[in-house]
């Protein structure tokens, strides 16, 4: 049985699209020296886009390798699984890791570790940048 390539292509295009959005938002975050609510909303938007990208990666792994996530979950290989991928991606990104779902296979482990590392580093870098920009703007 051949894997459904239509889902893989859709997720691949979605990953490219979200990567572009993430790149644009990060460029806007570091562009000038004004801290506003729009900048904070943009930072949160990038964080959520990273989680959605992780969910796409888990779905691509499930379609291509047959392994992605396992545990206290029943995956039926349709659109209803995407909520589970989002849940696990957010749990990995926020480094909560409830333990009810875990990565199945080395590629899924690598994606989980990547999401956890980004989940730790991204807020630290963005908060440091926003504080620096705010301090610089108030000194002038």
Count how many domains the chain has. 1
Domain span at residue 75?
5-30+37-133
Answer whether residue 51 is part of any domain: yes
Domain of residue 94, CATH code: 1.10.287.70
Query: According to DSSP H, which parts of 1-140 are helical?
Result: 5-29, 37-65, 81-93, 106-139
Average pLDDT over residues 85-110: 90
**What is the three-class DSSP state of 81?**
helix
Q: Is residue 74 part of a domain?
A: yes
Residue 90 included in any domain: yes
pLDDT at residue 107 above 50?
yes
Which one is predicted more confidently, 100 or 36?
100
Quick check: is 138 in a domain?
A: no
Tell me, rounded to whole angstroms, the distance of Cα 125 from its chain centroid.
Answer: 16
Domain for residue 139, yes or no?
A: no
What is the model's pLDDT at position 115? 94
Is residue 2 pLDDT above 60, yes or no?
no
Q: Is the pLDDT of residue 71 over 70?
A: yes
Q: Is the pTM of this model over 0.85?
A: no
pLDDT band of 1, cuts 50, 70, 90: very low
CA distance 140 to 137: 6
Decide if 34 contacts 133 (C-beta within 8 A).
Answer: yes
Please indicate, yes or no, if residue 140 is contained in any of the structural domains.
no
In a domain, 54, yes or no: yes
Q: How far is CA 72 from CA 88, 103, 131, in A?
A: 11, 12, 41
pLDDT (average), residues 49-77: 88
Q: Residue 33 — pLDDT band, cuts 50, 70, 90?
A: low
Is residue 75 assigned to a domain? yes
Whether residue 3 has pLDDT greater than 70: no
The percentage of the chain sitting over the pLDDT mark of 70, rounded to a whole number, equals 91
């Amino acid at each position: 049985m051949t894997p459904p390539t239509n889902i893989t292509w859709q997720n691949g295009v979605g990953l490219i699209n979200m990567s572009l959005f993430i790149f644009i938002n990060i460029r806007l975050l570091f562009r000038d020296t004004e801290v506003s609510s729009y900048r904070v909303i943009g930072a949160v938007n990038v964080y959520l886009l990273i989680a959605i990208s992780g969910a796409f990666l888990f779905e691509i792994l499930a379609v291509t390798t047959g392994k992605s996530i396992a545990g206290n979950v029943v995956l039926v290989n349709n659109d209803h699984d995407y909520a589970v991928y989002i849940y696990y991606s957010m749990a990995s990104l926020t480094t909560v890791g409830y333990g009810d779902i875990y990565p199945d296979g080395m590629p899924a482990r690598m994606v989980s570790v990547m999401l956890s590392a980004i989940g730790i580093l991204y807020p630290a870098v963005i908060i440091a940048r926003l504080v620096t920009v705010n301090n610089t703007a108030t000194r002038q």
